[in-house]
Structure 1
Amino acid sequence: MNLKDFAFYLLFMMLVASGAVFAQNTPSAVPFPFPEMKAPVFRKEKFDIRKYRAKEGGITLNSEAIRKAIVACNAAGGGSVIVPKGIWLTGAVHLKSNVNLHLEEGAELRFSQKFADYLPVVLIQRGGFFCYNYSPFVYAKDCENIAVTGKGTLNGQGQVWWPWKSKQPGMTQLFQMGKAGVPIEQRVFGTEKAGVRPPFIQFLECKNILLEDITVVDGPSWNVHPVFSENIIIWKIKIRAHGPNNDGIDPDGCKNVLIEDCDIDVGDDNICLKSGRDEEAWKIGRPCENVVVRRCSTKAGHGGFVIGSEMSAGVKNVLVEDCHFAGTDRGLRFKSRVGRGGVVENVWARNITMTKIKGEAIVFDLTYDSEPIEKNMNYGKGSAPLANAPVFRNFNIKNMECDGAKTAISLRGLPGNYLHHITFDNIKINSKNGVFCSNSQFIDFRNMAIKHQNGEAFQIENSSSIQY
């Protein structure tokens, strides 16, 4: 543990001890119907990858040995595929139903830096659109009862993929294809020239998923990205990745998701809920719903807890509580833009602490326009000014403290009834700037303690029914 990590850990544990974090000894009631989440159970049989001729040391490629172990485990009715202590070089790992990929303490799955080791192409979701591309490093499709567990490490070695961020014509082409409704079968990439990076971990159309205890390091793009999957438990994982678009955990169009006790330090959004992009997501219609996030900590990145901007099929029934965000660009971040459509509603955030936030402690932004590809496409040019505008409504943010932010709270809606019915209660923020609210309706500020240095505590523009 380096000095930076130790200092953050010490601060976080002091907050825990003081009661600033984990304000309740037992989880409080979830304010919407939420199932009792149970981790998948696996047979006791173990399939050690060494028995399938895997060789430790980080030199021999073990993709085939791991594949054989997974196939054997699945054929036997399930169990655990064991990755022992040591460094094991591999390409793409494709899980099957009833298989727990278990990394023993001291084990490292080190993923190859040769792009060909992630071919042939498979169906993935990338940036909100579906296509055929390089395989995610850990991938499953149409599986049930799957897990990646243990105190070992998944090392993506994503540095060789990161430069593609500045030369990714395939991503522009994918966005254009998605907007035009080109059949998914014709959206085929998987070349260096196209430059479409795969996610690190992606489970597509899967059920009963467990990620527990593992450390995830340096994925090529988004790190943990379940898509259209149900009954997902993510417990006590660590993520360390500071490349471009290195989101931490991004449930996308998923249902019944429990994320607890995770430690995330990434270069983009830490935990971000999504549900696809634009017309394709409207047609498919898979919202992200029934999500509970508890006792997670973040150290950097663009946002601590985020929704959007790809949220076109909707996001609903979300609880975030007892979390701590330190040094992120923003704390709670809710973002979208004209053209996305969709509704985000019924979101609760409570018992949140933050320190040293670089931008806004809390931000709602329906004018989000920070994606270079969309800018280059003249996104939305020629459309009506508010065509397919998103709606964010029914948010309740309670018991939040932030020690240090550039801006306390910012609400940037759109003309009309698109950002409304937001309640803030018992909010304490030390910041340079106070609260800014534009194009918003029915915003209720209760028990606010905003210690700001510049201007007015509340600046209200083009808004109605604002109580403070």
Structure 2
Amino acid sequence: MNLKGYCVVTLLAGVLCNTTMQAQPLPKVKQVSFRKDTFNITRYGAKPDGVTLNTQAINGAIDACSKKGGGVVVVPGGFWLTGPIVLKNNVNLHLQANALVQFTKDFSQYPLVKGNWEGLDQMRNQSPLSADNQQNIAITGAGIIDGGGDAWRQVKKDKLTDTQWKKLVASGGVVSEDNRIWYPSEQNQKASKMKNPGEITADKTPEFYQSIKDFLRPNLLVFTNCKTILLEGVTFQNSPAWNLHPLMCQDLTLRNVYVKNPWYAQNGDGIDLESCKNVLIEGSTFDVGDDGICIKSGRDEAGRKRGMPTENVIVRNCAVYHAHGGFVIGSEMSGGARNIYVSDCSFIGTDIGLRFKTTRGRGGVVENIYCSNIVMKDIPGEAILFDMYYAAQDPVPLAGEKRDAPKVQLLPVTEATPVFRGFYIKDVVCDGASKAIFIRGLPEMNISDIYLSNLVLKAEKGIDIQEAKNINMKGVQLIADKTTPLISINNGNKINLANITYNKADVLVNVSGANAGGITITGTDTNKAAKKLELGEGVAANVINIQ
């Protein structure tokens, strides 16, 4: 994808060129460079027998390598049991083929440390893989890194077969009173009923954190304030919480990795880029329990105070299988996100394809997001979703689960009001979704400036637009089952629909809401619809112009 030097508005929306909205050249990402010196972990006493705890040996090799100016720490083929590994300056931790690094399920090997969880300062168990304030570091090769996550995570009964559930319960742990959730321990269950138990506050003692230690699941990999990073070729799997979590990092390349979690893995995200700058993610595969490729920048006041957006990100040639969202921004995006380019990606069976989510209280500005050449198949939820009412729930309700629509009310605009604007999405094909496009803003802060073009979307339902302005769609083909209406617009303003094609429509467009206006439909065969237009109570006919 080459976005340099053309007018995004002209190409994507078919309107007059506005040079102030040109895409910037793709960001440059600095690459790692290592000395050729090698340090084999067996020289430091490591044994691949699956019994010996190799924590000291592996970290010893890393320390020696870094102190001598850097190089490659080699993990040969074999089964390497270990506790937490800490990466150091100028070290490439290289896993040879058939190397399995298995992190121990002995929680006592993970000391409690100050960390960050969902954008808030928290006490956590030390991550299996970590680095703080390091430069020129890498994890490469053809091996597998397993975080032992099954020992840490809660599991919902509805996400398992009966046989899997019975086997899990028989393994130990604790089951909730309603028999719907399995907990690894009583300590875990106890803490799960508290609000933000791991959050660092003045009233909490070391003894308190120790009493809920089992609950404070670590992310598999956390790199904090690091520069010039490469993750390449390795499989990262079975994380206790998030899988890969670069935090406030710069110049990160993620290439040809496989990120894997069970689909029932609670908080089992693939990669969460948080407040990072200059990132390339390419040629990688994600099959996880939560969001696949996710952009974050802190939560609520803490994220706004940090004030570090995730910016200058390229995502290309990636595949996402099970995930709550294929490519995702939010919901913890309080520091903002901008200048993000996603292209040539496949989403197969993800709950939602392109997922942009936030909620009141977050604040933050998300803008200048470019997506192109996306293919999707078998999406249980929405193909493309913008939602400013995120409620921290799975995107697709489980069997029998009922959800009420959020209460719509106008509130004052404050620094805690989030902003979504400037999204440019083109060349998307989706074969199967529950809804093609869903756009839902806030009454006090509409989602704005969205440009969608050249989309072919096969879905149960068509397009739903709420509390949005300056929404432009051109060349959208809808193949929908439920078409009453095909396109719904509630309190939409400056909605421009051009060259929309469709297989059928009982009602083509339904317009409602006191603030609806400036809606235009051009180049569209309205005669195919049984009924062109349906207006809500109190909506005047002149709010829409069908040409």
The normalised TM-score by structure 2 is 0.75
Which one of 341, 351, 366 corresponds to residue 373 of structure 2?
A: 351
Q: Residues 66 and 176 of structure 1: is their aligned pair in 2 closer, same or farther, counting only changes over 3 Å?
A: closer
Number of the residue aligned with 1:18: none
Matched residue of 1:55: which SS? coil
2:485 corresponding residue in structure 1:
456
Residues 440 and 175 (structure 1), Cα distance of their counterparts in 2 relative to 1, 3 Å cut: farther
* The one of 332, 335, 349 aligned to 1:310: 332
Task: Pick from 212, 223, 237 the counterpart of residue 203 of structure 1.
Answer: 223
Residue 296 (structure 1) aligned to one of 318, 322, 331 = 318
Residue type matched to 2:296 in 1? K
Determine helix, strand or coil for the equivalent of 2:385.
strand
Residue number in structure 2 paired with 1:77: 69
Is there any run of 5+ residues in structure 1 with no aligned partner, and where?
A: 1-26, 373-382
**1:184 & 1:200 partners in 2: Cα distance?**
25
Q: Give yes or no for contact 1:202–1:227 (8 Å, CA) kept in 2.
A: yes
Could you tell me how far apart the structure 2 residues matched to 1:157 and 1:204 are? 22
In structure 2, the residue matched to 1:376 is none
The answer on 1:130 being equivalent to 2:121 is yes
**Are the counterparts in 2 of residues 213 and 238 from structure 1 also a CA contact under 8 Å?**
yes
Letter in structure 2 aligned against 1:93? I
Q: CA separation in 2, counterparts of 1:208 and 1:187? A: 38
Cα shift at 1:261: 0.5
Deviations, residues 26-56 of structure 1 (Å, cap 9, x unaligned) = x423632444324201100111000000011
Change (3 A) 1:396 1:188: farther
Change (3 A) 1:267 1:396: same
Residues 79-88 or 386-395, more deviating: 386-395
1:11 aligns to what?
none
Aligned: 1:442 with 2:433:
no
Distance 1:140-1:170 versus aligned 2 partners, 3 A rule: farther
1:461 offset after TM fit, Å? 0.4
C-alpha contact 1:170 1:194 (8 A) present in aligned 2: no
2:80 match: 88
Q: CA RMSD, aligned part only?
A: 2.3
Q: Is the 8 A contact 1:342 1:391 kept in 2?
A: yes
Given that 1:141 and 1:206 are in contact with CA atoms closer than 8 Å, whether structure 2 keeps it comes out as yes
Assess if the C-alpha contact under 8 Å between 1:132 and 1:190 holds in 2. no
Query: 2: CA distance between counterparts of 1:193 and 1:65?
Result: 26
The one-letter amino acid paired with 2:345 is C
Q: Give, in whole Å, the separation in 2 of the partners of 1:52 and 1:171.
A: 44
| Greater C-alpha Rg | 2
TM superposition shift of 1:282: 1.0
Q: Count residues with an aligned counterpart.
A: 429
Q: Please give the alpha-carbon distance, in whole angstroms, between the structure 2 residues aligned to 1:187 and 1:293.
A: 43
Change (3 A) 1:175 1:317: farther
What residue identity is the alignment partner of 1:399?
D
Partners of 2:319 and 2:284 lie apart in 1 by 6
Q: How far has the Cα of 1:176 moved from its partner?
A: 8.8
Cα distance change of structure 1 residues 451 and 183 upon mapping to structure 2, 3 Å threshold: farther
Q: Could you tell me which of 147, 150, 174 is aligned with 1:156? A: 147
Q: Deviations over 1:333-363 (max 9, x none)?
A: 0001000011100000100000000010000
In the TM superposition, residue 209 of structure 1 has moved relative to its aligned partner by: 0.5
Query: Which residue does the alignment assign to 1:466?
Result: 495
TM-score (norm 1): 0.87
The answer to whether the Cα contact below 8 Å between 1:170 and 1:196 also exists between their aligned partners in 2 is no
Q: Deviations over 1:308-350 (max 9, x none)?
A: 0000010111000000001011000000100001110000010
Q: 2:256 maps to which residue? A: 236
**What is the CA deviation profile of residues 131-158 of structure 1, one whole-angstrom value per residue up to 9, with x for unaligned ones?**
2321111000000001000000001121
CA–CA distance in structure 1, aligned partners of residues 116 and 221 of structure 2: 11
Residue type of the alignment partner of 1:84:
P
Structure 1 window deviating more from structure 2 (183-192 vs 143-152): it is 183-192
User: Contact (CA 8 Å) 1:81, 1:102: kept in 2 or not?
Assistant: yes
d(CA) in 2 for partners of 1:340, 1:58 = 45
Cα offset, 1:116, TM superposition: 1.1
From 436, 439, 442, the counterpart of 1:411: 439
Task: Give the Cα separation in 2 of the matches to 1:266 and 1:46.
Answer: 33
Q: Secondary structure, in 3 states, of the residue corresponding to 1:341?
A: coil
Choose from 299, 322, 325 the match for 1:277.
299
In structure 2, the gaps of 5 or more residues are 5-22, 155-182, 395-409, 498-547
Distance 1:89 1:176 in 2: 28
Q: Would you say the 8 A contact 2:412–2:444 is kept in 1? A: no
Question: 1:55/1:334 Cα in 2 relative to 1: closer, same or farther (>3 Å)?
Answer: same
Q: Aligned equivalents of 2:26 and 2:207: distance in 1?
A: 37
Deviation at residue 192 of structure 1 after TM alignment: 4.4
Structure 1's 177 and 154: CA in aligned 2 closer, same or farther, altered over 3 A?
A: closer
Change (3 A) 1:109 1:189: same
Contact 2:62 2:88 in 1 (8 A): yes
Once the 2 structures are TM-superposed, how far is the Cα of residue 169 of structure 1 from its aligned partner? 2.6
8 Å Cα contact 2:453-2:476 kept in structure 1: yes
Cα displacement string for residues 4-35 of structure 1 (whole angstroms, at most 9, x for unaligned residues): xxxxxxxxxxxxxxxxxxxxxxx423632444
| Partner-residue secondary structure (3-state), 2:351 | coil
Q: Which moved further from structure 2: 292-301 or 454-463?
A: 454-463
Query: How many angstroms apart in 2 are the aligned matches of 1:390 and 1:185?
Result: 34
The letter of the residue matching 2:367 is: E
Cα shift readout 1:290-319 (whole Å, capped 9, x = no counterpart): 111000001111000000000001011100
The answer on whether the counterparts of 2:441 and 2:467 sit within 8 Å (CA) in structure 1 is: yes
Residue identity in the other structure for 1:64: Q
Post-superposition offset of 1:125: 1.4
State the match for 2:178 in structure 1: none
The aligned residue for residue 225 of structure 1 is 245
What residue in structure 2 maps to residue 169 of structure 1?
Answer: 191
1:173 CA drift (Å): 4.7
Contact 1:241 1:267 in 2 (8 A): yes
How far, CA to CA, are the matches of 1:415 and 1:176 in structure 2? Answer: 34
Q: Distance in 2 between matches of 1:235 and 1:96?
A: 20
What is the deviation of 1:245? 0.7
**1:48 corresponding residue in structure 2:** 40
